[in-house]
């Protein structure tokens, strides 16, 4: 039996998650499904996405996967519409998809700038635009924009990623005002250094994880499920009067 919260309001609730095939996104797909939500998720990692959807569907959950590059706005909006036809209009949107590719500021071109904004920020706005009419009709909804503490702690070699992730909270604040009177809440969720398979493959070793832990107020490391549990709370009716806020799940590292 789980020691963690179950949210009755999430049962049967249509949820859309971007970048749901791995890492934090995979955790979100799994945990929203476990809450009884009807989950639609997109990703460019097609085999992983199909495998996850098949596994959860076979276990009796309502989960659909659509192969989609979120930088193709028309394709992403089409996937969201397909999820709505299958599950009902989304009442939860998690803008999770992103890519923290390292780069040197002096090498950045105009095309690379546009590419990084497209994968880390632009799709979030257009996904909100796509789900908002259904949420307005329902008179309720929760949108969760994933940011990162990287811009707060000034992580090197990530100027464009950090620009996009700082802007994510500006987008949250502005859209919380635009949509709030329709009963729609918009919040930012900012993970710390999260231990995912990708980070382990590229960066994390025992030494680097110990160094990260030393920066935190809490012992231990942040894992995807730690981040997801905050997303579940923000999606559920338990957070009904919370909007335009930023929540850090970082072991007590960053200072906003």
- Residues forming the active site: 161
CB atoms within 10 A of CB 72: 14
CB atoms within 10 A of CB 128: 22
Note the pTM of the prediction, 2 decimals: 0.96
Helix axes 159-179 and 123-138, enclosed angle (nearest 10):
20
What is the spatial distance between Cα 159 and Cα 108, in angstroms, rounded to a whole number? 10
pLDDT tens digit at each of 256 positions of the chain: 479 999 999 999 999 999 999 999 999 999 999 999 999 999 999 999 999 999 999 999 999 999 999 999 999 999 999 999 999 999 999 999 999 999 999 999 999 999 999 999 999 999 999 999 999 999 999 999 999 999 999 999 999 999 999 999 999 999 999 999 999 999 999 999 999 888 878 778 889 889 999 999 999 999 999 999 999 999 999 999 999 999 999 999 998 6
Would you say domain 10-249 falls under CATH 3.40.630.10? no
Instruction: Indicate the domain borders of the chain.
Output: 10-249
What is the spatial distance between Cα 128 and Cα 186, in angstroms, rounded to a whole number? 10
């Amino acid at each position: 039996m789980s020691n963690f919260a179950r949210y009755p309001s999430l049962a049967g609730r249509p949820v859309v998650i971007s970048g749901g095939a791995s890492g934090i996104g995979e955790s979100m797909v799994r945990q929203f499904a476990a809450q009884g939500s009807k989950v639609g998720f997109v990703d460019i990692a097609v085999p992983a996405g199909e495998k996850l959807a098949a596994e959860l569907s076979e276990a009796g959950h309502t989960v659909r996967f659509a192969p989609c590059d979120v930088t193709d706005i028309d394709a992403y909006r089409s996937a969201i519409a397909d999820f709505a036809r299958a599950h009902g209009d989304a009442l939860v949107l998690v803008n999770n998809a992103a890519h923290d590719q390292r780069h040197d500021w002096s090498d950045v071109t105009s095309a690379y700038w546009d590419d990084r904004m497209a994968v880390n920020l632009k799709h979030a706005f257009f996904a909100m635009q796509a789900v908002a009419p259904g949420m307005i009709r329902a008179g309720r909804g929760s949108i969760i924009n994933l940011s990162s503490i990287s811009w707060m702690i000034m992580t090197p070699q990530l100027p464009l990623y950090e620009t996009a992730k700082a802007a994510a909270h500006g987008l949250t604040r502005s859209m919380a005002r635009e949509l709030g009177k329709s009963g729609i809440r918009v919040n930012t969720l900012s993970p710390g250094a999260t231990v995912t398979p990708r980070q382990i493959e590229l960066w994390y070793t025992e030494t680097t994880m110990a160094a990260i832990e030393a920066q935190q107020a809490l012992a231990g490391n942040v894992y995807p499920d730690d981040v997801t549990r905050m997303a579940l709370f923000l999606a559920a009716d338990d957070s009904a009067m919370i909007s335009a806020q930023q929540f850090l799940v970082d072991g007590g590292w960053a200072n906003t």
